[in-house]
Every structure is written in structure tokens, then in C-alpha cells.
Amino acid sequence: MAKTIIELKRADLTLGSAAASVHVLKGIDLTIRAGESVGIVGPSGSGKSTLLMVLAGLERLDSGEINISDTPLHALSEDQVADFRGRNIGIVFQSFHLIANMSALENVAVPLELANVQNPFEIARRELKAVGLGDRLNHYPGQLSGGEQQRVAIARALAPSPALLIADEPTGNLDADTGRQIADLLFSKQAERGMTLLLVTHDASLARRCMRQIRVRSGQIEGDDAIVRNEAAIA
Ligand SMILES: Nc1ncnc2c1ncn2[C@@H]1O[C@H](COP(=O)(O)OP(=O)(O)OP(=O)(O)O)[C@@H](O)[C@H]1O
Ligand SMILES: [Mg+2]
């Protein structure tokens, strides 16, 4: 069986202060194996994005443990977490999060340059070609369609060759056809590179394309379809 890449133990997090505080993650236990594709679904406000932010090291737990590739993120400093994230985790957002005054090429190359990676522009050019944007290198985000902007964001996420790709509603701002093409791209990159893919989606057909579906409700995991499938396989 494949190695464990993500392990959450009793993960607990409350966000906001005093009167506006929300107990968002309520003691979540979760294990994900290298190479899995996992769709995280659940009602609005159930804690899906917060869970992804914790897994990306962008939000810290109040208590509990988070281990990624055997690295205990809960025990690292903010700087160490940021460094780990830069080398191991790619992140894609619903609203692309590109820098408006940088070209597609710069959006991919500059983070590599900041991380002291050798030949950042060469790598960026290669990654943009690999997502079908070889002829859009010098376009700015405002000159690209939504689907093209998401391709740039995917190229940026993949450029450091992360073991883990995390996507929060990656097709949420796209029409159905474009969304399908973006999903095809994510799954084909996952297969090609043997990455682990974790995505949050409200699109049931997209979630069904994942090997495993996790249902979150009110800060807890209420269903995990891989477990059902495994039990069926054993029976
Ligand atoms: N910084 C914050 N301060 C206070 N409450 C917060 C904060 N961030 C999120 N929350 C609350 O935590 C809950 C979970 O939010 P989260 O964004 O994780 O939900 P979600 O499942 O991703 O929802 P959606 O499907 O609408 O994107 C919500 O009730 C939200 O209001
Ligand atoms: Mg969300």
C-alpha cells in the first residue's frame, strides 16, 4: 500500500475573535496516501476551505497534529512552514490569484526566482507550454480568459514539482466546458507526475472523478467513500 502523505490527528481550529468566533474544525482525524485523488465535498460553511488551508500550511491548528510527508507542520515556525510549502505543496484557488501586473511567464517564474530555483524562466516557459499556453507567455492576466488564467495558476502550482496539489473549487468560476478541461488537466498532471491531488468542489461529477470522496459537515468528517469501497473490497 502507498505511503501516507498527509496525517491529521485531532485537528482543531477556532477562527475569529470573541463574539464572532467559529469552531471550524472539530477534532478531525484524516489519513491520505501518496498518489490518491481526494474530492472534499460538503455544505457551504462546513469548513472545507479551512481544512485545505490547514493542509497547505496557510492556517495553523489550535491543537492536534498535522504531518505532511513525515514533516510535523504543527511543530515548525511560520518561516519553516512557508519554506516547506514552497517546495512540497502546489495550491490552486477558485479566483486564480494571479498578479495583475505580471505576464503569464512572470507569474510562474517569479515565485521560483524568489525560492532561489535555478533557471526559473526556462522552467516557467516549459510549464506554461505543458498546460497549452506556449503562445500566451507575454499576456497579462487581464488579457486571458478565465480558463487560461486558471491554466497559468496550475502551471505556477506545478512548477516546483510538488508532491501534493491542493485546489479549492478550481472550476468554480468557469463555465461547464472550460471547467471540464481544467479538471482533465488536473487529473492528467496528477497521473503523469504521481502527485497527490486534493480538491474541494461543489460539482458532484467532478468529485466522482476522484478515487476518494470525503464529506465534511459542520467541521467534522461525516463520510469517507474510500473506506466504504475498501470494506466492499474486503467483504
Ligand atoms: N477568519 C474567520 N473568522 C471567523 N469565522 C471564519 C473565518 N474564516 C471562516 N470562518 C467561518 O468558518 C466556517 C467555515 O468556513 P469555510 O470557508 O472553511 O467553509 P467552506 O466549507 O469552504 O464553505 P464554501 O463552500 O461556502 O466555500 C464558516 O462558517 C465561516 O464563516
Ligand atoms: Mg470554501
Which of the two residues, 89 and 18, has the higher pLDDT score?
A: 89
What the block records as the C-alpha cell of 54 is 490547514
Taking CB atoms and a 6 Å cutoff, what residues make up the pocket around ligand 1?
15-16, 20, 22, 24, 42, 44-50
Distance CA 69, CA 109 (A): 26
pLDDT at 54 over 80: yes
Mean pLDDT check: name the lowest of 43-47, 207-211, 222-226.
222-226
* Distance from the alpha carbon of residue 134 to the mean position of ligand 1, in angstroms: 37
Determine the residue of 23, 49, 55, 222 to mutate for testing ligand 1's pocket, defined as the one with the most ligand atoms within 8 A of the Cβ atom. Answer: 49
pLDDT at 64 over 60: yes
Which of the two residues, 229 and 84, has the higher pLDDT score?
A: 84
109 CB contacts (<8 Å, ≥6 apart)? 120, 121, 123, 124
Instruction: Please give the pLDDT value at position 2.
Output: 82
Mean pLDDT along residues 150-165: 97
Question: Would you place residue 136 in the very low, low, confident or very high pLDDT band (cuts 50, 70, 90)?
Answer: very high
Distance CA 207, CA 200 (A): 8
What's the chain's average pLDDT?
Answer: 94
Question: Would you place residue 234 in the very low, low, confident or very high pLDDT band (cuts 50, 70, 90)?
Answer: very low
Looking at ligand 1, which atom is closest to the CA of residue 22?
5
Q: In 3D, which of 14, 44, 40 has the Cα closest to residue 26?
A: 14
Is the Cβ–Cβ distance between 185 and 131 less than 8 Å? yes
Mean pLDDT along residues 141-165: 97
pLDDT at 65 over 50: yes
Is the Cβ–Cβ distance between 51 and 40 less than 8 Å? yes
pLDDT at 232 over 80: no
Question: Would you place residue 225 in the very low, low, confident or very high pLDDT band (cuts 50, 70, 90)?
Answer: confident
Among protein residues, the one whose CA lies closest to atom 17 of ligand 1: 49
pLDDT at 227 over 80: no
Tell me how crowded residue 222 is: count the other CB atoms within 10 A of its CB.
11
- HEC letters along the chain: CCCEEEEEEEEEEEECCHHHCEEEEEEEEEEEECCCEEEEECCCCCCHHHHHHHHCCCCCCCEEEEEECCEEHHHCCHHHHHHHHHHHEEEEECCCCCCCCCCHHHHHHHHHHHCCCCCHHHHHHHHHHHCCCCCCCCCCHHHCCHHHHHHHHHHHHHCCCCCEEEEECCCCCCCHHHHHHHHHHHHHHHHHHCCEEEEECCCHHHHHCCCEEEEEECCEEEEEHHHHHHHHHHC
Question: Would you place residue 174 in the very low, low, confident or very high pLDDT band (cuts 50, 70, 90)?
Answer: very high
Instruction: Please give the pLDDT value at position 124.
Output: 98
Residue % of the chain over a pLDDT of 90: 92
**Adjacent-strand bridge partners of 200:** 40, 168
Amino acid letter for position 172: G
131 CB contacts (<8 Å, ≥6 apart)? 151, 152, 154, 155, 158, 185
Question: Would you place residue 235 in the very low, low, confident or very high pLDDT band (cuts 50, 70, 90)?
Answer: very low
The bound ligand whose nearest atom lies closest to the alpha carbon of 50 is 1
Mean pLDDT along residues 142-160: 97
Question: Would you place residue 226 in the very low, low, confident or very high pLDDT band (cuts 50, 70, 90)?
Answer: confident
Instruction: Please give the pLDDT value at position 52.
Output: 97
Q: What is the pLDDT of residues 116-135, one digit of tens each?
A: 899 999 999 999 999 999 99
The bound ligand whose nearest atom lies closest to the alpha carbon of 215 is 1
